[in-house]
Amino acid sequence: MTSPLLSVRDIQVTFDIRQKSDWFWQKPATLKAVNGVSFELAAGETLGIVGESGCGKSTLARAIIGLVKARAGSIVFEGDELLGLSAKAMRLKRKDIQMIFQDPLASLNPRMTVGDIIAEPLQTYYPALKKADIQARVKAIMAKVGLLPNQINRYPHEFSGGQCQRIGIARALILEPKLIICDEPVSALDVSIQAQVINLLKQIQKEMGLALIFIAHDLSVVKHIADRVLVMYLGNAVELGTDKAVYSSPTHPYTQALMSAVPLPDPDAERSKTIQLLPGDLPSPINPPSGCVFRTRCPIADAACADTKPLLAGTAHHQTACLKNSVAAV
């Protein structure tokens, strides 16, 4: 059996939060941003991560690439453990793991030309490259992502949002990485531009054999690009499976509620469907519910859900973390 490109095991990311009313000798509260998430990613595969704001999607992505520090767990990339690496060793690994950020304009240096922005990773990792070679590679990658090579000396503010995101994609691709983490790369774009960026990512993935982690709020967007889907709630993984399994037969009540809110292209079906509204508000990650973190908003929760924290269980193709609903064995 082929080893996974990326293996994430029981990752935990916490932050110490001090309230204004706290005395200086008081111990700060602990915010559990990511609480024991595990998954594997094969080469060339796309994992979609979905969930509402504050569920820990972006924090998980930043922990994988080393932008935030994981307190516990394991992140193995190409057989090497990333947690605990020195800054120098992690810098070498980061050459094969790149990231595309949510806000295309804010992620680009406004004082640098497009050519310099895309070329910067090459200058960092290959300082011996000649200027002519760097410029040739920059123009080639610009053409690959749908930018005109003669725009190389323009600045980010001269481009539209979709074009700026293409610049970010070009910068991520210039080192020919093996994994790209896409942190809500289309949420700030118009619907038509979203489709163009999604199709571009799928095309480039096919050509280069990239693995993708694609984070989004919109489940209909994730459906078009993901091979497998991880659903998160309050820092926890509540469902994980192939796109077909999760979309056709969601098992966790939270996933079912998310799926019910996805718009349908058929007007009659859209009008007749029932949207499952979740009661109450999202609990604070500083003081999450005991047992199942979703129980305070779950329509099928009972007293047992307060005592036991459910873990992902099921088949190799579909797993859910719920005491009441389980994945049937195939």
The length of the chain, given as a count of residues:
330
* Secondary structure class of 97 (helix, strand, coil): strand
Q: Output the pLDDT for position 1.
A: 57
Sequence-ordered list of residues with C-beta below 8 angstroms from that of 89, at least 6 positions apart, any chain = none
- Alpha-carbon span 205 to 144, nearest angstrom: 12
Strand (E) or helix (H) holding 96: none
**Bridge partner residues of 25 (DSSP):** none
Q: Output the pLDDT for position 328.
A: 56
- Four-CA torsion 216, 218, 224, 11, nearest 10 degrees: 30
| Tens-level pLDDT at each residue, the chain (330 residues) | 578 999 999 999 999 887 766 677 778 888 999 999 999 999 999 999 999 888 999 999 999 999 999 999 999 999 999 998 888 899 889 999 999 988 888 889 999 999 999 999 999 999 999 999 999 999 999 999 999 999 999 999 999 888 999 999 999 999 999 999 999 888 877 888 888 889 999 999 999 999 999 999 888 889 889 999 999 999 999 999 999 999 999 999 999 999 988 877 778 877 888 888 888 888 988 889 999 999 999 999 999 999 999 999 999 899 999 998 877 544
Q: Using alpha carbons only, what angle is made at residue 95 by residues 89 and 143, rounded to the nearest 5 degrees?
A: 170
- Among residues 292, 296, 216, the alpha carbon closest in space to that of 258 is found at 216
- Alpha-carbon span 88 to 176, nearest angstrom: 20
Q: Output the pLDDT for position 330.
A: 40
Pairing of strands 97-100, 179-183: parallel
Tokens matching residue 139: 């123009």
- Alpha-carbon span 129 to 80, nearest angstrom: 28
Q: Output the pLDDT for position 245.
A: 93
Q: Output the pLDDT for position 329.
A: 45
Tokens matching residue 150: 């003669």
